[in-house]
Structures are given as structure tokens and as C-alpha cells.
Structure 1
Amino acid sequence: MTAPARRISLTGIKPTGIPHLGNYVGAIRPAIELARDYDAFYFIADYHALTTIRDPGELDLYTRSVAATWVACGLDPERVTLYRQSDVPETFELQWVLSCMTAKGMMNRAHAYKAARDRNREAGLDEDDGVSMGLYNYPVLMAADIIVMGADVVPVGRDQIQHVEYARDIAERFNQAYGDRFALPVPEHVTSSDGDRNTLPGLDGRKMSKSYDNAIPLFGDARSTRKLVRRITTDSTPVEDPKDPDSSTLFALYAPFADAAEQEELRARMRAGGMGWGTLKDLVADRLEEHLSGPRARYDELMEDRAQLDAILAAGGARARERASALVGSVRAAVGIA
């Protein structure tokens, strides 16, 4: 008896900066864990990055950095498919077909476009000032990324659910028109059951983000990471007084790298008093170095060996393109172009 085919999961990563600890805990680690249960595809969305990045060298650096990060963090390119979006040109052919199925009104309601219009209105500018067609059409390209691989599930944060809902809606519109000849897969979103626990605070206590300039790079060297941890904002609670782990940025940074028993031990020490913030900062820095020194060495190796990284991406791109080509061929036949 033939075993049923494993369902497909798809994760997209936009290369707009050097990955930080928040990216690892909130997105990278949960997405890698999905590979246990799904036939997993991971792509680096280099064309998506063109909405904000204009420096070719920067885009190349960030693309390689993201790929090296995922491999260093445990993604096995022999078991999963890791590829560049730009290596699958069928995606962009499918985007046009899907654009013809997409209502303009739906694009007007897309979160990123609405946010840009709102900022312009508040600033007294024309509501479309600075809005490119790349930003406006972003959800259609994302739908094509998802559908071209036949993805069943897409792991996303809560703020990204709309993109998967749009992909579902667009696929269903196509199926209404051409489903008697070929039906597109209709994807579902998957969000982490951990919810806000997967959101790390940054140096100032706000959500860790490059845009807030409060992030700790995932693979910074031990010395620079320790210096950043020492900069984390704390209150003036004396050493001898109890401290609340649930409101502590330092405990929130420690917890994802500790098991349940270690977390409870630190909670007890903080509540008992006698531990100063400086001691806790050193403990956090030590724990980060413990967990990240090995992956950092692998990351540095990949960043220094461009040929090795390019070979990984080329192999993944070939597998991804074979899959995409089959689906787009069926779409072409369905619409009458084949």
C-alpha cells in the first residue's frame, strides 16, 4: 500500500537585513520544526526585497546572510528545498495570471498599502505618495509564491495572515473560472501556538526589530553580543530585592534558550532576591554564547565560502523550478495559452 504524500509547507524569508535573535525565536526555529511533519520548502524572497532595497551589494549580502543563517540554524538542504525566489521565473508568469483574477478593491484593503496611505494622510501628502506598484501588487506576488509550489500550509505570524487569506481568495477565483480544467491548491495559514511567547523584546523592552534599532544580531561575535546585553534597559531595583521574571526583558531573552527546569530555577532566584541586574545580564550573555557559538561558526564558514552556499541554493532552485514548471504548465493549458 502506497503511503500518502506528505503535505507541503512553504516559508518565505525577505532579505532586508542581517537576522537577529527575534527572527530566530519568532520565525526561524518554529519554521524549521515544521520540516518534521511536512515536505518543506523555504525561499528567500529577493524580488520582494526590491520594494525597499536599492543597493545591489546590500541585497546580495542580505540574501546570502539569510540563506547561511537558516542552514546554520539546522535547516538541512538535503531534506528540504531551500531556494531563491529569483531562481523560479515561473512564479512571475503565474503572478500575471493571478493578477487577472484579483479585484483591485481587495488590493486597496491590503495592510501594507493601507498603512502607507494612512501615513501620507497624517503627513498631509497625497495618499499614494511614494507608493510603488511593487508595494501595491505585493500580495499578488506573495500569492504566486505560495501557489506555485502547491503549498498546503504557510506558517506566518498573526500580522501576515492576510497574505495567506488573499492567496486563498485568489486561488478560489481562478478555480471558479477554470476549475473544470485545472484547480489550484488552496493554502491554509499556520500560526504558532506559542503566540506572543515567540516575540522577543529588544534592548529597550519593545519588540525586537531592526526598525527600532534595538536588535541583537543572531551571529554577532561573543564580545559584541555581551556588550549589547549589558545595554538592556533595567530598573533601579536593589540587588537584595526580589525581581519579577515575567516583566523582565532579560528573563524573556533567557527563556527561549533554557529548558523548563532551568527557567523555573532562574525564576526562583529572581523572586528570592540577592541577584543584581549585572549578574543576570552576564548569565544571559553566557547562555546565548553557549547556544549560538556552534551555529555561528557554521554561518561564518558559509558566508566565507560563496561557492558552497551558491551550490546549496542552485540545487534547491532546480528542485523548486521543476515543481513550479509543472504547475504553471497546467495553468497555461487551463487558460488556453499552452
Structure 2
Amino acid sequence: MARILTGIQSSGRPHLGNILGAIKPAIDLSLLPGNDSFLFIADLHSLTSLRDGNTRRDYVRAIASTWLAFGLDTSRTTFWRQSRVPEHTELAWYLNCFTPVPMLENATSFKDKSEKLTAEAGSNAASAINAGLFTYPVLQAADILLYDAEVIPVGKDQRQHIEMTRDIAGALNRSVGADILVLPEARIDERLMVIPGIDGKKMSKSYNNYIDIFLPENELYKVIKKIKSDSTALEDPKNPDTDITFQLYSLLASDEQIREMRGLYEAGGFGYGSAKKAFYELIVQKYATERERFTFYMTNNDELERELRTGEEKARAVASQTIARVREKLGFN
């Protein structure tokens, strides 16, 4: 059917929003007959904001362990660390030389992040924005084009990056007079869930409002108890549709469980504390196997490395073919 590529940054441990919005859908897509899935950990991208090497290694291990815990079949997919395939950075340099500066200046993500960094830096604003952040879309384009990816599942906020990838690839193709790079198509799932965080905003590491389902049970419960709720008295009926705990519970629960929980809310005499406890218990029960697998991979680094290195060999086999085509046309062979 298609060659599909998905990447996830190593800027933190995966949270419930990442799992429901990206990881699970990507794994489901990889299992469809005929799909050829390439799934990678974008650890090079994280260097624009994360400088500590030990922290990055921990995050990479946690991300890899999460994919494997949720059933990623590495015999059917190519799964690797971006930094272990040097062709990513080689192609990024070639693409840089075909990328107009105004295109990068107009990137919405760059403008948003640079404005935020400048505001936070105050008197050090001039040095707050690094060149890696500016050329981020070019490395992202290299990630995609290196594997002849045809379909890129993304959220609406990433549509521009795919358009930029197509523009950059098209410029190089026209320059060499041959279609040596495949122009990818964005797949925007309009039904993609926006997962609320514990404060009601979109769940994000940036907002520090996320739920890490792999935390030890007592730590996980502490996070769940911080979910924002209103001041409706215990004995009064409550509106489940405006409550964050109910919204999160509904994402994981069965239809029957949702009906029962809605009835408890609307009947009164049921407090938000009880709802949070039920949500916590649901996470622990629903993801018992995944939590066990995650712990296995996090504590068995040799097994985790074996899975990643196998994928990195497969990734390099494909990447080297693309680089060979580009080098030949650009006169580097």
C-alpha cells in the first residue's frame, strides 16, 4: 500500500498523549497488510533544546521501551535511532544548499519557538536562538526523503513541514534533472484526538501537565490526584462532559464503564476524588502488560540495544541507496 514514516523526538519520556495520539496509531498502521513502516527516534532534533547527554540517553531508552511495550513488531517495521544513521546529517547538508532562507524564516514552528525563547531569555535574547532550531525543517526533510517515504501521518501543525519537504526535494530534483527524491504526502487525520492534560490544556511536556503511565503506582496516583476539577459539592450532581477526569477516563474505558461512570456523576454523592481513583485504577489495569514490558526493556539494556541495532542496520541499508543517488547526481561519487 505505502511506505510510511513516523518520528518522535527524544525530548522527554512519552506520556499518555503521545501514546494515544501517535504511538498506538502508528503501530496499528504498521500492522495493515502491505504497509512498509519506518519508525524512528529523532534524537538529533532534541539537541536544539536538550544539551545533557545522560538525560538524552535516558529519554531515548524510555521512548524505545514504550514503542516495544505497546507491541511494535520489529520484524515487520524498521525501528531505529536517527543519530545512529549518519546519512541523516549528510542528506541534511545537501538539502540545506537547496533551501531558501526565507522559507525557513517563515516556518510557523520556528517563529513560535524563537518568540518564546527570546521572551524567556530577556537580556540574552540575541543568543537564545541556535542555528539548529532554524534549520530544523531541513533535517526533518532529510529524515523523510532519506527513506523514500510516501505517506507521513502528522497533525495539522506539521502540515507546513511536509510542504517544505516537498518544496526542497522538488528543488533538488529540478536542479539535477531527475526525480531522485520521492515527494511525500501528508496524512492528516482530522479525527485525531486532542488529549487533555491534568489542567485541561493539550497534554504536553511543554506545559508540564502530562500523565506518565509508566510511573511507579504511588507516583502515578499523585499525578492523577492533581487533575483540575471544579468546586461542585460531593452530594451534588456533576456534569461529566465538562470534567477533565471524566474526559480522560472516557479515552481508556469501555462503553459500559463510561455509562456507569456518567451515571455516578449525574446521580450525585460521587466526588471527584473517587473519579480520579477510578481513573488511576483503570490505567493500572488497562496497561498492566505494557507497564511490565516497559520495565523489562528499561532494566534489560542489552535486549533493548539488540532491537535498536537490528533496526539501524535495516535503516542504513535503505538510507545508503538514497545517498548514493544524491551523491552521484551532485558529483560527489
Q: In the alignment, which residue of structure 2 is the partner of 1:24?
A: 19
Q: Post-superposition shift, 1:44? A: 0.7
Kindly indicate whether residue 88 of structure 2 is the aligned counterpart of residue 91 of structure 1.
Answer: yes
Q: In the alignment, which residue of structure 1 is the partner of 2:70?
A: 73
Supply the distance in 2 between the matched residues of 1:222 and 1:295 (Cα, whole angstroms).
Answer: 14
Q: In the alignment, which residue of structure 1 is the partner of 2:319?
A: 324
Q: Report how many aligned residue pairs link the two structures.
A: 330
Q: Post-superposition shift, 1:55? A: 1.1
Supply the distance in 1 between the matched residues of 2:273 and 2:298 (Cα, whole angstroms).
Answer: 34
Kindly indicate whether residue 12 of structure 2 is the aligned counterpart of residue 10 of structure 1.
Answer: no
Q: In the alignment, which residue of structure 2 is the partner of 1:33?
A: 28
- Aligned residue among 97, 102, 106 for 2:99: 102
Matches within 5 A, 1:151-230: 151-180=149-178, 182-195=179-192, 198-230=193-225
Q: Post-superposition shift, 1:122? A: 9.2
The answer (yes or no) to whether the contact 2:180–2:325 under 8 Å persists in 1 is no
TM-score (norm 2): 0.93
Kindly indicate whether residue 309 of structure 2 is the aligned counterpart of residue 314 of structure 1.
Answer: yes
Deviation per residue, 1:138-176 (Å, 9 max, x gap): 000000000101111111222222211111111111222
Supply the distance in 2 between the matched residues of 1:51 and 1:117 (Cα, whole angstroms).
Answer: 11
Identity %: 41
The answer (yes or no) to whether the contact 1:47–1:85 under 8 Å persists in 2 is yes
Q: Post-superposition shift, 1:244? A: 1.8
Q: In the alignment, which residue of structure 2 is the partner of 1:258?
A: 253
The answer (yes or no) to whether the contact 1:30–1:192 under 8 Å persists in 2 is no
Supply the distance in 2 between the matched residues of 1:10 and 1:154 (Cα, whole angstroms).
Answer: 5
Supply the distance in 2 between the matched residues of 1:116 and 1:24 (Cα, whole angstroms).
Answer: 24
Supply the distance in 2 between the matched residues of 1:223 and 1:126 (Cα, whole angstroms).
Answer: 40
Q: In the alignment, which residue of structure 2 is the partner of 1:49?
A: 46
Q: Post-superposition shift, 1:133? A: 0.9
SS of alignment partner, residue 287 of structure 2: helix
RMSD between aligned residues? 1.9
Q: Post-superposition shift, 1:123? A: 7.4
Supply the distance in 2 between the matched residues of 1:91 and 1:19 (Cα, whole angstroms).
Answer: 23
SS of alignment partner, residue 210 of structure 2: coil
SS of alignment partner, residue 199 of structure 2: coil
Closer, same or farther: CA 130–123 of 1 in aligned 2, 3 Å: closer
Q: In the alignment, which residue of structure 1 is the partner of 2:130?
A: 132
- Which amino acid in 2 is paired with 1:300? T
Supply the distance in 2 between the matched residues of 1:327 and 1:137 (Cα, whole angstroms).
Answer: 21
Closer, same or farther: CA 136–7 of 1 in aligned 2, 3 Å: same
Deviation per residue, 1:278-329 (Å, 9 max, x gap): 2211111111111122111111111111110111000000000000111111
Q: Post-superposition shift, 1:206? A: 2.1
The answer (yes or no) to whether the contact 1:112–1:135 under 8 Å persists in 2 is no
Supply the distance in 1 between the matched residues of 2:265 and 2:119 (Cα, whole angstroms).
Answer: 47
Kindly indicate whether residue 148 of structure 2 is the aligned counterpart of residue 150 of structure 1.
Answer: yes
Supply the distance in 2 between the matched residues of 1:335 and 1:45 (Cα, whole angstroms).
Answer: 27
Supply the distance in 2 between the matched residues of 1:171 and 1:81 (Cα, whole angstroms).
Answer: 23
Closer, same or farther: CA 262–52 of 1 in aligned 2, 3 Å: same
SS of alignment partner, residue 161 of structure 2: helix
Supply the distance in 1 between the matched residues of 2:170 and 2:225 (Cα, whole angstroms).
Answer: 52
Q: Post-superposition shift, 1:113? A: 2.4
Closer, same or farther: CA 54–126 of 1 in aligned 2, 3 Å: closer
Q: In the alignment, which residue of structure 1 is the partner of 2:110?
A: 113
The answer (yes or no) to whether the contact 1:118–1:127 under 8 Å persists in 2 is no
- Which amino acid in 2 is paired with 1:268? G
Closer, same or farther: CA 130–40 of 1 in aligned 2, 3 Å: same
Matches within 5 A, 1:241-252: 241-252=236-247
Q: Post-superposition shift, 1:117? A: 4.1
